Amino acid sequence: MQPFLKVDQVTKRFHKVVANDRVSFDVMPGEIHCLLGENGAGKSTIAECIYGFYKPDEGTITVQGNPAGLTSPRDAIARGIGMVHQHFVLVSSMTVLENIVIGTDAARPILDLKAAAARIREIGRRYDVDIDLEARIWQLPVGQQQWVEILKALFQGARLLIMDEPTAVLTPQEARRLFQIFREMTADGLSVILISHKFDDVMQSDRVTVLRRAKVIGTVNTRETTKEALTNMMVGRSVELRVKRDEHPRGAPVLEVRDLRAANDFGTEKLSGIDLTVHRGEIVGIAGVAGNGQGELFEALIGARKTRGGSIRLDGADITGRSPAEIQRMGMGYIPDDRFADGLVGDYDIQSNLILGHHRREPFARRGLLQFRAIRDFARKAIEELEIKAPSETTRTRSLSGGNAQKVIVAREFAQATKVILANQPSRGLDVGVIEYMHERLLEKRRNDFGILLASEELDELLGLADRIVVIFKGRILGEFAAGTADIERIGLLMAGQETAGKAEEIS
Amino acid sequence: MGLRLEPRLAPSARWQAVSVAVALLAALAVSALLLESAGTDVGVAFAAILDGAFGGLRTTAKTLAKATPMILTGLAITVAFRAKVWNIGAEGQLFAGAMASYWLYTLTGPALGMALLPLLFAAGFVGGGLYGGLAGWLRSAFRVNEVLTTVMLNYVILYLLSFLLVGPWRDQSSFYQQSERIDRAAWLPDLWAPGKLHLGFLVAILAAVAIHVVMNRSWFGYEVKAVGLNARAARFKGINVERTAVAVMVLSGGLAGLAGMIQVFGVNHRLESDISLGFGFTGIIIAVLAMLRPGWVVFVAILFGGFENGGIKMQVATGAPSAIVSAIEAITLLFFLTAAALTRFRIVWRST
C-alpha cells in the first residue's frame, strides 16, 4: 500500500538552529501515527512543515505519491491535510456552523449555509460526532470545541489530520471519546498524526516516530514496544518514571482555605467557595481541567487577587486581604503556570530575577542600593546548584528554554519560601529530565515539612506525588482522595463535573 | 503576500551601530532635500547650524544653557517611560514647578539671598512632583488613563497661570501677561557669565547622575523597571505596582518642575508663559531618542540645544525659515525610531 504522506530527509533551520535534521517517516492510510519527543525535539516544526506553514530547507514531502511543494496551509488543505492546533482558532461569539464554514471555499460571497450544514451533519453522523451546529462556541465545553476543529478539517476534505497535543485540555473520559472518533476515522481510511508526550495517548497509536534533538531516532510499531523503551529513545537514557514518594508523617495544618470566593478580571465568579487544607509535610494535588479556577485560586492565595468572601490562614495567621509582599514575607512561595508572563521579568537577567521579591533585603540591598556582588554570588551558586544552562548570570531570562526558566523560578521561590509552596502546573511543557528534577525538589521540600499545593493537568503526576488529591470543577472542590485510594476513573468524572462520582469513597 | 515584522532573536551590537549610523545619514539626506526645496544652499545651512551650535566656547555655553531644561524634562520622561507610565504632561509639571517656586519667592522676597536658592529648587521639585503625582494617583486609584489626564492637566495649569498673570501676580507696569521681574539677588548665579551659563546646568547634570544611580543601582529603580517590563510578575512578587506608578509620577513631575524653576530664576527672570518652548514635549523626543538612558539624555538634549541655537544662526545666514529646524528634528526622530525598531525586528516578505 502506498503511504498517504511521506516525509523524506526534511531539514529545517531557523538561523543557526537546526529544528529538523533529515527527518523521515511516512503515514499510511488508516493509521494513527504518533510523533513523540521532548520539548524542542522538533515535533511541532515538522508538523508545521507538513501543514505548509514552514517551508523545509531540504528534503521533500510527498502526498499520495506526488511531491507536495507546499507553500502555505491553503496548499496543504487542498491536498487533504488538516491541522488542529493546541490552542483552537475559533470565533467564540459565532456558531459552530459559521466557524466551520468560515475561510473555506463554501464561504463564497453568498453563503449557502443550508447546504454546508447538511454536509457537516453527514460527516458528523459518519464519525459519530453529535454537535449542535447552531450553538455558539463559548457555550461548548472544550472537548466539543475540539470536535468543531476536527469537523472543520474534515469539511475541507482532510484525509490526514494533524493533532497537536489534543488531550492536554481534556478529561480522561473526553480523551477516550476523542480516540473513539479517531478510530472511526481511520476505519474509513483517514490518517491521524498525533503529537503528544502523554503515554496514555501514545500507546493508542499504530506507530510511533520518536524525535530527539531534531533527528528521528526511530519509528516503531506501538504494539511491539513499551513506555520504558519509548522513554529511552526519547530521552536517550533510562528514566525512573515513577517518583519515589517515601512515607512522611504530616504535621499541623499550615494552609487553611475556608469558603473562598473570588472573581476573574471580568467580574465573573471563578471561585465559588473553596475549602482546602494543606498540612506540613504534605503535598495536596489539585486535579482539574484548565480554567476551572486554578489560576484564580493561586492568585487569591498569594494576595494578588481580591477575594469576595471566605478566609485564608497561613500557619494559623489570617492572611485574607493581605498584600503579596506580606504573604511572601510570612513564608509563601509560588511557582506560576505561565513562567514568562507571571514568574519572570523576561528582559531582566537571571540574577535580577533570582532576587525578585527579596530585592530590598540584605544582602541584596543596603541603604537603598543594590549590592551587585552579593547578587552575583547568589546567582552563580543557584546556577551551579540547579544546573541552569545559561552563558552567565547576566543572561536575559527571555532567552532561556522553558526548563531553565522554570529552574530560575524554582531557585528563587525555594530560597524565599519558608512554609508553603504553591505550584501551578510546574511541569507543563518541560522535558522529562527537568520534570524529574522538579519532582525531586518538591518531595525534598515535603521532607523539610513544607506544605505543598500542586495543581496539575497530568493525573499521573498527581498520583505519583500527592498525599491527597482534590478535584476542582467550576470553582468548587468536588471530591477528595487519599493517595492510595485515588482512582483515575472517578477523578476524571469529577473533573467533568459529575458530582456523584466521588461520593462513594470520599474521605474527609 | 505582505510585509511582516519578525522579532530578532538577538539584536547584535554591530547591527545597532550600523542602523544608528544609517539613520543619521538618511536624516541628513532628507533634511538636505528639504533645505534644497526651500531654495537654501545646503552646505551653508549645515555649516551655519554647526557654527551656531558649537562654534566656539561662548556659543557652546549658550547651547548648554539651552539644553538645561530639556535635560531635565528628558530625564522626567525617562523615569516615567521606564515604568511604562506614559507621562505626556511634563510641560504642565514644568509650569507647576515654576509657579510653586515663584509663589515661594513672592512669600519670602529676595531678602534671604543665596539661602533662598535651595528652597526655590525644592519648591520647583515639589510643585511639579505634586502635579505629576496627581495624575499618578488618578491612574493608580481609579485606573484613569494617565495619557489623558497628563495632557489635560497641561491645559489646566496653563489657564491657571494665565489667570494668575492677569490677576494677583500681574506686573502692573507691563502690558504683557507676565509677573514682575525677579530681584537680581534671587537669580541663579552664573557659572560663566559671557555664555549665559547658569547654575541650572550643573543642577541638571547632577540630576542626570542621580537618576542614573537611582535607575541602575537602587532597588527603587529596579522596581520601576520591573513594573515597566512585566507588571504582572512584579505584582506577584510583592512589588506594589500602584504605589510605584505614583512614585514615578512624583519623581517625573519633580524633575520637570525643576526645569520650570530654573527657567524662571535662571533665564527669563520672571514668570511668564514663555518660560517653556514646549520643553515638556521635546523631553519625550529626547528621552525616546536616548533610549531611556539618563546619560544619553544629556547628550541628546545638548544636541537639541545646539539645533535651537544653530537654527537661529542658519536663519540669519540663509534666510530659510527656522521652522525647518523643527522639521529636521522631527525627521531625525522618525529615522531613529525606525532604526530602533529595525534593531529589534526584521522585515520579512512572505507569501501566505
For the segment B117-154, what is each residue's pLDDT rounded down to a tens digit? 999 999 999 999 999 999 999 999 999 999 999 999 99
CA distance A174 to A11: 36
Please say whether the beta carbons of A136 and A94 come within 8 A: yes
Residue B348: what pLDDT? 66
Calpha distance A20→A241 (Å, rounded): 27
List of chain A residues whose C-beta atoms are within 8 Å of the C-beta of residue B213: 369
How many other C-beta atoms lie within 10 A of the C-beta of residue A185? 23
Query: pLDDT tens digits for A190-206?
Result: 999 999 878 888 999 99
pLDDT digits (tens, 9 = 90+) for A13-63: 887 778 899 999 999 999 999 999 887 788 888 999 999 988 899 999 999
Side chain identity at residue A171, one-letter code: T
Chain mean position to CA B122: 19
Q: Do A344 and B233 touch (CB under 8 A)?
A: yes
A4 grid coordinates: 498517504
CA distance B23 to B339: 6
A327, pLDDT greater than 80: yes
The pLDDT value given to residue B247: 98
- The CA distance from A272 to the nearest CA of chain B, in Å, is 23
Cβ-based contacts of B243 with chain A (< 8 Å) = none
Contact A356 B233 (CB under 8 A): yes
- Measure the CA–CA gap between A85 and A108, rounded to whole angstroms: 25
Q: Which residue of B has its CA nearest to A333?
A: B237
Q: How far is B88 from chain A (nearest CA, A)?
A: 25
Of all residues in chain A, the one with the smallest CA distance to B218 is A369
Which of B219, B226, B232 has the CB atom closest to A342's CB atom?
A: B232
- Of A224, A228, A136, A328, the C-alpha closest to B237 is A328
Kindly provide the ipTM of the predicted complex, given to two decimals. Answer: 0.85
pLDDT tens track for B18-45: 877 888 889 889 988 988 888 888 888 8
Nearest residue of A to residue B228, measured between CA atoms? A345
A475 near A293, Cβ under 8 Å? yes
Which residues of B are less than 8 Å from A304 in CB distance? Answer: 235-236
Answer whether residue B296 shows pLDDT above 60.
yes
Nearest to A40 by CA among A494, A430, A451, A501: A430
Distance from CA of A457 to the nearest CA of B (A): 22
CB contact under 8 A, A368 and B219: yes
Provide the shortest C-alpha distance from residue A356 to chain B (in Å). 6
Contact A363, A374 (CB under 8 A): yes
Whether the link from the prior residue into A3 is cis, omega within 30° of 0, is: no
Residue A482 confidence (pLDDT) above 50: yes
Answer whether A287's CB lies under 8 Å from A471's CB.
yes
Distance CA A494, CA A172 (A): 11
Q: Which residues contact B14 (CB under 8 A, 6 or more apart)?
A: none
Q: Are strands B190-192 and B197-198 parallel, antiparallel or unpaired?
A: antiparallel
How far apart are the C-alpha atoms of A451 and A251, rounded to whole Å? Answer: 9
Q: Which residues of B touch A (CB under 8 A)?
A: 9-10, 213, 217-220, 222-223, 225-226, 229-230, 232-240, 351-352
* Ordered DSSP codes for A243-285: ---------SEEEEEEEEEEE-TTS-EEEEEEEEEEETTEEEE
Least confident of A142-156, A222-236, B6-20, B200-214: B6-20
Domain boundaries, chain A: 5-235, 240-331+417-501, 349-415
Name the residue among A299, A324, A356 with its Cβ closest to that of B226. Answer: A356
Instruction: Examine the pLDDT at A223 and tell me if it is beyond 90.
Output: yes
Angstrom distance (rounded) from CA B95 to CA B103? 12
Q: Identify the sign of the CA torsion A133, A138, A140, A142.
A: positive
Q: Which of B218, B219, B229 sits opposite A345 (nearest CB)?
A: B229
Residues 363-382 of A with CB under 8 A from B: 364-365, 368-370
Cβ–Cβ < 8 Å for A466, A261: no
Q: What is the C-alpha separation between B100 and A455, in angstroms, rounded? A: 56
Q: What are the tens digits of pLDDT across the range A365-391?
A: 999 999 999 999 999 999 999 989 888
Q: Which residue of B has its CA nearest to A17?
A: B9
pLDDT average, residue stretch B231-242: 96
Over 90: is that where the pLDDT of B8 sits?
A: no
CB-defined contacts A:B, below 8 A: 72
Beta bridge partners of A349: A396
- pLDDT for A396-445, tens place per residue? 999 888 889 999 999 999 999 999 999 999 988 888 888 888 999 999 99
Domain A5-235 and domain A240-331+417-501, same fold? Reply is yes
User: Reduced to 3 states, what is the DSSP secondary structure of residue B66?
Assistant: helix
What lies within 8 Å, CB to CB, of A360 at 6+ separation is B219
CATH of range A240-331+417-501; options 2.40.30.10, 3.30.360.10, 3.40.50.300, 3.40.50.150: 3.40.50.300
Question: What size, in residues, is chain B?
Answer: 352
Task: Please indicate if any CB of chain B lies within 8 Å of the CB of A429.
Answer: no
CB contact under 8 A, B236 and A346: no
CA distance B182 to chain A (A): 39
| Backbone conformation region of residue A365, classed left if phi is above 0, alpha if psi is from -120 to 50, else beta | beta
Listed in sequence order, the residues at least 6 apart from A33 whose beta carbon sits closer than 8 Å to its beta carbon are A25, A27, A191, A192, A193, A194, A205, A206, A207, A208, A209
Could A369 and B219 be called an inter-chain contact, meaning their C-beta atoms sit closer than 8 Å? Answer: yes
pLDDT at A507: 44
Burial class for A367, CB neighbours closer than 10 Å (0-12, 13-18, 19+):
exposed
- Which one has a higher pLDDT value, B339 or A448? A448
Confidence of residue B5 (pLDDT cuts 50, 70, 90): low
The model's pLDDT over A243-257, given as tens digits with 9 standing for 90+, comes to 677 888 899 999 999
pLDDT of residue B6: 64
Strand pairing partners for B178? B272
d(CA A407, CA A418): 18
Which pLDDT band holds residue A265 (cuts at 50, 70, 90)? confident
Grid cell 463535573 in the structure block, residue: A497
CB contact under 8 A, A348 and B351: no
User: Does residue A443 contact residue A285 with C-beta atoms inside 8 Å?
Assistant: no
Beta strands across the sheet bearing A81-84: A81-84, A160-164, A191-195, A32-37, A207-212, A215-221
d(CA A319, CA A23): 54
pLDDT of residue A433: 81
A343 touching chain B per CB within 8 A: yes
Residues of B in contact with A302 (CB under 8 A): 236
The full set of domain ranges for chain B reads: 68-306
Superfamily of domain A5-235: P-loop containing nucleotide triphosphate hydrolases (3.40.50.300)
Phi, psi of A262 (to 5 degrees): -160, 160
Dihedral class, residue B150 (left if φ above 0, else alpha if ψ from -120 to 50, else beta): alpha
Cα A296 to Cα A306: distance, rounded to the nearest angstrom: 10
Residue where the block lists cell 527537568:
A434
Residues 6+ apart with CB under 8 A from A12: A18, A19, A20, A42, A45, A46, A49, A54, A56, A57
Cross-chain residue pair A328–B237, CB shorter than 8 Å: yes
Q: Which residues contact A314 (CB under 8 A, 6 or more apart)?
A: A254, A255, A327, A330, A331, A332, A419, A420
CA distance A347 to A480: 41
The overall average pLDDT reported for chain B is 90
Average pLDDT over residues B99-103: 97
Q: What is the pLDDT of residues A100-114, one digit of tens each?
A: 988 776 656 777 788
Statement: residue B11 has pLDDT above 80: no
For CA atoms A16, A21, A26, A30, the dihedral sign is negative
User: Residues of B with CB below 8 A from A360's CB?
Assistant: 219
Report the pLDDT value the prediction gives residue A369, as an integer from 0 to 100: 96
Q: Give the H/E segment covering residue B230.
A: none
Q: Chain B partners of A399 at a C-beta cutoff of 8 Å?
A: 9-10
Distance from CA of A381 to the nearest CA of B (A): 21
Cα–Cα dist A357/A400, whole Å: 21
Mark yes or no for CB contact A341/B230 under 8 Å. Answer: yes
Suggest the residue from A72, A74, A359 to mutate for an interface test with chain B (most B CBs closer than 10 A).
Answer: A359
Contacts of B238 in chain A (CB under 8 A): 323-326, 328-329, 357
Q: Which residue of B lies nearest to A70 if distances are taken between CA atoms?
A: B352
Mean pLDDT on B315-334: 82
